[in-house]
Every structure is written in structure tokens, then in C-alpha cells.
Amino acid sequence: MEPTILKGIYLFEDLTDEELSKVSQILVNESHPEGTFLFHEGDKGDKFYVIIKGAVRISQVISGAGEEALTILSKGDYFGEMALIDESPRSADVIVHENSDFVVISKKDFDELLFFDKEIAYKMLWAFVRTLSHRLRDTNDKIKAFLHMAGSF
């Protein structure tokens, strides 16, 4: 992948051209058709994905109710990073919502990059923190809306 393409993706926007070049060396391209499960809740996390084209649906199966879509992510978004950071199982299913292209970074390559280049580690981990904070705020807003609709708020 051309390093300049990465510059337009939030996760990589603070990296220098040299740092982007290092990151691009560990990227693997993947393409998946609509309907493909990239992973299931409970799976071991061994890589994270950046969407280059298309969209994915993050969902969970609710007993007695079926699939509950939590969000749709599209071009420029990334997902799967939580399992790389805390080594816990995947927290949701990810289903390709429309034919999609991704760049993927494996846990092994990610860990090596962060170990050997502390500046990239610092920048990327702060991008993860900001993303997780944003996602948590969105979740809080959804919970408030749900409680309000249920008459409990």
C-alpha cells in the first residue's frame, strides 16, 4: 500500500512520511464479499483491520432477539484493535456489509513495530485511546436514549 493513502486515515494521520513508510511495510491487503464474517464474538484476536473500501457491520447476537447491529463502519474506519491491546477475545461479530477492501496488521507485526519504534507506538496508541473514548461516549449516548425511551431516565 502506498504510504500516502494511509495519511487520510485517522489512525495514521499524525505519523510522518518515514513512519508511514514503516507501517506500510507490515500491511496485508484483504478483500471480502458482502456477508462474510471476519470474526465472531469470543474469537481470539490476532489482527486488526482498516477499511479501504466498503463497510462492515459490528453486531452481537442477543438471545431470543437475534442479531443486534451496534454500528456500521466504512472507509477510513478501523476495528479489531481492542483484542490486540488487551488480548481479550473479540467483543462482537464483524460482518462485511458490502464488498470491502481492507489493510490488515497482525498482532505479531503490530507488537514488533511498537517495540522497535516508540514514536510510532506513542502516536498510534494515542489514536486508539481517542477512538475508544469516542466510541464509549457514543455508547453512553445510546444507553441514555434507550433508558429515556424505556421511561427509566
- The second-level CATH assignment, the architecture, of 3-149 is Sandwich (2.60)
What does the DSSP assignment read for 40-74?
Answer: -TTPPP-EEEEEEEEEEEEEEEETTTEEEEEEEEE
Domain definitions of the chain by residue range:
3-149
pTM above threshold 0.75:
yes
pLDDT tens for each residue of 61-109: 888 877 788 889 999 998 998 877 888 899 899 999 999 999 999 999 9
More confident residue, 26 or 128: 26
pLDDT for 153 beyond 60:
no
The least confident of 32-41, 48-57, 76-85, 112-121 is: 76-85
